[in-house]
């Protein structure tokens, strides 16, 4: 069985993000609905897969903060 690398990155980063921010899976899904987090990770896979989990979590935090500042 071959693991889809994009799905692996999404799972790894979202798990770590939820852990660091004390979110439940349902809370994370609501955040994803508002901000398109999983799509963001999918589109950014090429640079992200070389960054490391913590680096991608930090990019994700910046992305969410920018979107919230823009009111989206």
Mean residue pLDDT of the chain comes to: 95
Q: Give percent above pLDDT 70 in the chain.
A: 99
Q: What is the pLDDT of residues 42-65, one digit of tens each?
A: 999 999 989 999 999 999 999 999
Phi-psi region of 23 (alpha: psi -120 to 50; beta: other; left: phi over 0): beta
Distance CA 43, CA 13 (A): 14
């Amino acid at each position: 069985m071959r693991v889809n690398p994009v799905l692996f990155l999404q799972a790894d980063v979202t798990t770590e993000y939820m852990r660091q921010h004390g979110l439940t899976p349902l809370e994370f899904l609501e955040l994803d609905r508002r901000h398109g987090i999983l799509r963001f990770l999918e589109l950014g896979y090429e640079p992200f897969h070389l960054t490391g989990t913590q680096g991608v979590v930090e990019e994700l935090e910046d992305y969410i903060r920018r979107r919230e500042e823009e009111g989206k």
